[in-house]
Structure 1
Amino acid sequence: MSDQRMIGHYRIVELLGAGAMGKVHVAFDTFIDREVAIKSLRAELTQDPEFVGRFKAEAQSLARLNHPNITTLYSLLPDGNALYMVMELVRGRALDDVLRDCGGPLGVKESLAIIAQAADGVAYAHQMGVIHRDIKPSNLMIGNDGRVKIMDFGIARVQGSVRMTRAGTAIGTPLYMAPEQRRGSEGDERSDLYSLAVVLYEILSGAPPFAGLDEVELLQAQIGKDPPPLVPRVVGVTPELEAALMKALAKRPEQRYPSIRAFSDAIGATSLRVDATTIVQSPAHLLDRTTQTASAGAAASLPSVALAVARSRSTSLVRRFKSLHPALQGVSVAIVAFAAVAPLLFGGGGDAEGGAKKHDERIERDRRAAEPEIDRRQTAKSYDYAQVGEIKPVRNEIDRPAVATTDTPSKPKCNEGFSIADCQPSSVPGQKTATVEKASLGSAGTIADLRRAVKEKEFDRAFAIGEPLAETGEREAQFIVGMISLKGQGRSQHLPTAFKWIKKAAEKEFPEAEAVLGNMYQNGDADGGENLDEAVRWFTKAAEQNNARGQFWLGKAYEKGVSNVLKKDVRKAGDLYRLAKTQDFPGAAEALEALRKSGKY
């Protein structure tokens, strides 16, 4: 599609954005003189019935909806073998872009004004029988007029329609999916409610409520852990707001609010509906630090904070108690009662000193609980895989000077700071703390043994454990075995073995394997030698899964314009460096700063 191509009576003006499935262009309707957005599938996907079916399903979902907080569909336009959705053009920025540029949470009032509008749109969609199933910041557009628009109904489902995925297949974005969706359920209104609550938690605190170094660990957190409390670390969040948010994040759907509207009422967002666009104003207004400071208000006094913490913790205990089975509730009451009368029954000699010590311990626990989660992460020990050495970029086509080099690498190459610890997939920027003994679905014991062997730097044993597991198709084992072979740890380096297993893991959409495979193609360590087009393809796949390594090296490719399939684009390079920087990827901050100093970004 060229910039001046006509599609029917629409003249294409510019490319607005591109993703894994398609592109969105700005176009001009020559019949009624207005700008529109035209969404299209990638050419290679138009031959795939599943993708075409999803594209039509999105149009059918949108055709049922007409609401100020949902993008409007004008028509579904066929053109030869292609299909185009002609839609309302929304000028503004996606919420995830705003959060990324902001570098921290938004003000409480602005956050609730955003959620008030999103809740209106989602509630209307539910009334019309449409479940979105992928509510997340990137699908919430903040218009330049302050209006929030819900985007991308690509995996939405009309209630009562034939499901487009196999039973037991999860679909959506893992970080924002409700636990029942992660288990393969279609989900209902309460699943969208959960996702919207995750969004609210993130924009209030600056980070999602659950984190994990891979999807398995993230799932375990979503199912088995409570979100870190917001009171008192987020200024302006009241115990009532926190309690309502935590209820919406309940593990079981029946424990949440019955509807989006009930949730909006409980958090106080509904009362802001009339003034919501005025409060939000624009993306630029949200990025204004003075706005956030004004929204936060003055710091509360110490007694007020202590009272708020006490109310928050007591509410949390009550909520946990109510979530228990009735039989367990009875047992819990009996245990508490026994603990209360035990000192009277069995004597209390020396209890004063012990009681004081326990009191001090409780104070310390409360103090730590009140600290910002991000501060604890910064001091936490990094993911406890053993470091297996660095692979210096002896020769790197994307990053090397224009002058040719005759260096012949004798060892495999990658960027600075590369280690197995870095090679775990992560969808949560900045999250580095994990437990080595976590289980992988279907192969818990063997994976635990493999990780333990790597942690203890017993690479021969790790290889012996990992290779049979890799043969079964376990992608993490494939990746680890490939990395041991690539680095020559505990055995001779063997590039064919490394390439074989890393490629298999990449083909199973293991994000870090995709990025490392790109490095191997980039550096000539793959079968067939150097192939920059393949390197860019795998970097792109990794970057689309929010992998920092993929983002960084794809940024390098855009900055240099080295590939036949990728033109030089410094703006995209900077955007990718910025994404990698948010995950503390080595070199990303420096690359971004260099672009800014050059005046190109």
Structure 2
Amino acid sequence: MSDQRMIGHYRIVELLGSGAMGKVYAAADTFIDGREVAIKSLRAELTQDPEFVGRFKAEAQSLARLNHPNITMLHSLLPEGNELFMVMELVRGRPLDDVLRERGGPLGLKECLAIVSQAADGVAYAHQMGVIHRDIKPSNLMIGNDGRVKIMDFGIARVQGSVRMTRAGTAIGTPLYMAPEQRRGSEGDERSDLYSLAVVLYEIVSGAPPFAGLDEVELLQAQISRDPPPLVPRVGGVTPELEAAIMKALAKRPEQRYPSIRAFSDAIGATSLRVDATAIVQSPAHLLDRATQTASASPAASLPSVALAVAKSRSTSLVRRFKSLHPALQGVSVALVAFAAVAPLLFGGDDAGAKKRDDRVERDRRATELESDRRQTVKTYDYGQVGEIKQVRNEIDRPALMTDAPAAKPKCNEGFSIADCQPSTVPGQKTAAVEKASLGSAGTVADLRRALKEKEFDRAFAIGEPLAESGEREAQFIVGMIALKGQGRSQHLPTAFKWIKKSAEKEFPDAQAMLGNMYQNGDAEGGENLEEAVRWFMKAAEQNNARGQFWLGKAYEKGVPNILKKDVKKAGDLYRLAKAQDFPGAAEALDALRKSGKY
């Protein structure tokens, strides 16, 4: 590109983002009255690589076939000198993964279905035109400021009947959202896109993806061999019928899923929202308002209704598992059940003996249920006794000890900015045509966020304290952070500890990680407690929190005597996860491990 900031007849306005493949600019069309466009470039050095050039052109060819309100439109493919550019529709809004990250929890059920109804429309149209996307995920779904969902990035899409771009057996896509057959190297078909969209729906409804793992091997194992955690009754408003539809779309084998995206959309009730979908979504700012989750949830159900829903959900799950078995195994299962039913009649037995057996079975069942409830309610870790605290303190450094600077109180800017109280962004997220959305004015939590964004900390504290008292976990965390950093007031560690701990106990991952830092640095009630620090880092890391992953990695790298065994492999895996979320220091820590030859 020349220094005069022109690409063809397009005047560059701003750089929207850059990545490994190239850059994306906002530009004005000087031929058509300053029309706004997005221009996607391929890095100059990659233009010499036939494979990258082929992919870039293939994306343009895929988009050229498509003209749909829910798919970003291609205007032209523009060569200039040795460079290659794609001129596209400019979409003002935010990618769905950005919204999820900033919200810090699930979206309202109605909003989820409205998003999926639009995405399903676009994907179904692409399938009708013979294009398989192969990389449906939140970062490729742009939420426009008008509430319209746009599918982006057809970089690895495949036109049915075309020559394949990858070697047979090579997996291509984003592992977390790839269908099992794609993980095995298959090119995939419409049902693979269906699976990916179902993963997205599960994630935005529940707040977490259906499968997780510390590395790709663990993730693959989960995708192939485990069922997703049930949504009923864990997620309010999700009916057994909706859960069953999502689980069917997440079936391990393509033939067990719905035959098409449209059939899936019909089954979950999304198709009926098509006309009103943009009005329901409204804007990214609307989705950031936590009030949407409460407003769109069903009224609290009675205990018998919940019990019936759970029973229906579990029985449907059993039927689904049975159908997924090989026909021969289905026959064996039926035979075993039949034998268990008639065995008492065939072999008899006195009534007293039968009653004793029944009583024993019932006691065992109740004991198992109680133990299961205990484990779910209080998750404990066996670290042994805490000893040599002062010596261990030098093994797990404070955040400030990442540099040669003197030790300081924990900072909030390592993966977290108190200015807007949101986690840091993940590299590679779609920044093309993204305009920072207003946080809106509806709802007191939105007011709290806005006060923080404007750095009016006294006002934020005044808004946040009543919300924290009411049990709002995000407000508890924010109030705690204001007290911890002494913003707009003197630092007050007891107040900070009180609210951050309450938020952590409500499973707010940022609070869990920060509570770990407070225990690590001696800023918690009772002073330094490395056992508690490691426990809270583990809880945060389990929720894919970058801070928790990083500091748990530090603990594993050094080892904590009598608490945590040294495990460099786990440390490296955790650094990789934190690096993927651009957490400061993670890349350097991972590089140091690799250079040492230990990982």
- TM class by shorter chain equals 0.5 to 0.7
C-alpha contact 2:383 2:563 (8 A) present in aligned 1: no
Shift of 1:55: 1.0
Tell me what 2:161 maps to.
160
C-alpha contact 1:75 1:86 (8 A) present in aligned 2: yes
Change (3 A) 1:397 1:284: same
Question: 1:535-573: CA deviations, max 9, x gaps?
Answer: xxxxxxx73x34xxx52227999xxxxxxxxxxxxxxxx
C-alpha contact 2:576 2:586 (8 A) present in aligned 1: no
Q: Does 1:31 align with 2:146?
A: no
Measure, in 2, the Cα distance between the counterparts of 1:223 and 1:250: 10
Change (3 A) 1:378 1:15: farther
Tell me what 2:76 maps to.
75
Change (3 A) 1:86 1:329: same
C-alpha contact 1:398 1:556 (8 A) present in aligned 2: no
Shift of 1:277: 0.6
TM-score, reference length from structure 2: 0.66
Change (3 A) 1:357 1:394: closer
Amino acid at match of 1:173: T
RMSD: 3.9
C-alpha contact 1:131 1:156 (8 A) present in aligned 2: yes
Q: Which moved more, 1:218-227 or 1:347-356?
A: 347-356
Tell me what 1:183 maps to.
184
Tell me what 1:307 maps to.
308
C-alpha contact 1:248 1:256 (8 A) present in aligned 2: yes
Q: Does 1:132 align with 2:247?
A: no
C-alpha contact 2:130 2:159 (8 A) present in aligned 1: yes
Determine helix, strand or coil for the equivalent of 1:229. Answer: coil
C-alpha contact 1:377 1:432 (8 A) present in aligned 2: no
Tell me what 1:115 maps to.
116
Measure, in 2, the Cα distance between the counterparts of 1:282 and 1:382: 46
Determine helix, strand or coil for the equivalent of 2:36. Answer: strand
Change (3 A) 1:357 1:34: farther
Q: Does 1:551 align with 2:554?
A: no
Change (3 A) 1:169 1:555: closer
C-alpha contact 1:67 1:121 (8 A) present in aligned 2: yes
Change (3 A) 1:55 1:293: same
Measure, in 1, the Cα distance between the counterparts of 2:371 and 2:4: 59
Alignment of 1:194-233 (within 5 A): 194-233=195-234
Change (3 A) 1:376 1:16: farther
Change (3 A) 1:70 1:395: closer
Determine helix, strand or coil for the equivalent of 1:16. Answer: strand
Amino acid at match of 1:200: L
Change (3 A) 1:243 1:513: closer
C-alpha contact 1:3 1:13 (8 A) present in aligned 2: no
Measure, in 2, the Cα distance between the counterparts of 1:34 and 1:223: 47
C-alpha contact 1:175 1:427 (8 A) present in aligned 2: no
Amino acid at match of 1:197: A
Measure, in 2, the Cα distance between the counterparts of 1:431 and 1:313: 34
Determine helix, strand or coil for the equivalent of 2:100. Answer: helix
Tell me what 1:51 maps to.
52
Change (3 A) 1:297 1:48: same
Question: 1:35-93: CA deviations, max 9, x gaps?
Answer: 11111123332332221211111111111100000000011111111111111111111
Measure, in 1, the Cα distance between the counterparts of 2:563 and 2:251: 38
Tell me what 2:554 maps to.
none
Tell me what 1:339 maps to.
340
From 429, 432, 446, the counterpart of 2:544:
429
Identity value in percent: 73
Determine helix, strand or coil for the equivalent of 1:13. Answer: strand
Determine helix, strand or coil for the equivalent of 1:216. Answer: helix
C-alpha contact 1:382 1:432 (8 A) present in aligned 2: no
Tell me what 1:352 maps to.
355
Measure, in 2, the Cα distance between the counterparts of 1:162 and 1:184: 16
Question: 1:181-209: CA deviations, max 9, x gaps?
Answer: 00010101000000000000001111111
Measure, in 1, the Cα distance between the counterparts of 2:395 and 2:290: 41
Shift of 1:353: 4.9
Measure, in 2, the Cα distance between the counterparts of 1:224 and 1:307: 28
Amino acid at match of 1:120: D
Measure, in 1, the Cα distance between the counterparts of 2:373 and 2:132: 36
Alignment of 1:417-496 (within 5 A): 429-430=544-545, 480=569
Q: Does 1:169 align with 2:170?
A: yes
Change (3 A) 1:275 1:356: farther
Shift of 1:120: 0.4
Measure, in 2, the Cα distance between the counterparts of 1:307 and 1:360: 23
Shift of 1:456: 12
C-alpha contact 1:3 1:12 (8 A) present in aligned 2: no
Alignment of 1:492-507 (within 5 A): none
Amino acid at match of 2:355: A
C-alpha contact 1:106 1:292 (8 A) present in aligned 2: yes
Change (3 A) 1:370 1:204: farther
Measure, in 2, the Cα distance between the counterparts of 1:153 and 1:51: 14
Measure, in 2, the Cα distance between the counterparts of 1:212 and 1:231: 23
Change (3 A) 1:458 1:292: closer
Measure, in 2, the Cα distance between the counterparts of 1:116 and 1:363: 43
Measure, in 2, the Cα distance between the counterparts of 1:107 and 1:261: 22
Shift of 1:290: 1.4
C-alpha contact 2:43 2:83 (8 A) present in aligned 1: no
C-alpha contact 2:383 2:564 (8 A) present in aligned 1: no
Change (3 A) 1:7 1:158: same
Shift of 1:2: 8.6
Shift of 1:366: 7.0
Amino acid at match of 1:227: P
Alignment of 1:494-573 (within 5 A): 543=579, 545-546=580-581, 550-553=582-585
Shift of 1:346: 3.9
C-alpha contact 1:62 1:153 (8 A) present in aligned 2: yes
Q: Does 1:240 align with 2:241?
A: yes
Shift of 1:322: 1.2
C-alpha contact 2:575 2:587 (8 A) present in aligned 1: no
Change (3 A) 1:62 1:261: same
Change (3 A) 1:480 1:511: closer
Tell me what 1:15 maps to.
15
Tell me what 1:328 maps to.
329
Measure, in 2, the Cα distance between the counterparts of 1:161 and 1:383: 56
Q: Does 1:99 align with 2:214?
A: no
Determine helix, strand or coil for the equivalent of 1:85. Answer: strand
C-alpha contact 2:47 2:53 (8 A) present in aligned 1: yes
Tell me what 1:537 maps to.
none
Determine helix, strand or coil for the equivalent of 1:552. Answer: coil
Change (3 A) 1:480 1:311: closer
Determine helix, strand or coil for the equivalent of 2:166. Answer: coil
C-alpha contact 1:21 1:45 (8 A) present in aligned 2: yes
Tell me what 1:475 maps to.
none
Alignment of 1:257-276 (within 5 A): 257-276=258-277
Shift of 1:340: 2.2
C-alpha contact 1:101 1:287 (8 A) present in aligned 2: yes
Determine helix, strand or coil for the equivalent of 2:584. Answer: helix
C-alpha contact 1:62 1:73 (8 A) present in aligned 2: yes
Measure, in 1, the Cα distance between the counterparts of 2:382 and 2:168: 37
Question: 1:397-452: CA deviations, max 9, x gaps?
Answer: 9744499xxxxxxxxxxx98999x999xx99715999xxxxxxxxxxxxxxxxxxx
Q: Does 1:255 align with 2:256?
A: yes
C-alpha contact 1:4 1:12 (8 A) present in aligned 2: no
Amino acid at match of 1:298: P
Amino acid at match of 1:352: K
C-alpha contact 1:214 1:427 (8 A) present in aligned 2: no
Measure, in 2, the Cα distance between the counterparts of 1:94 and 1:120: 18
Question: 1:469-524: CA deviations, max 9, x gaps?
Answer: xxxxxxxxxx749x8xxxxxxxxxxxxxxxxxxxxxxxxxx866779xxxxxxxxx
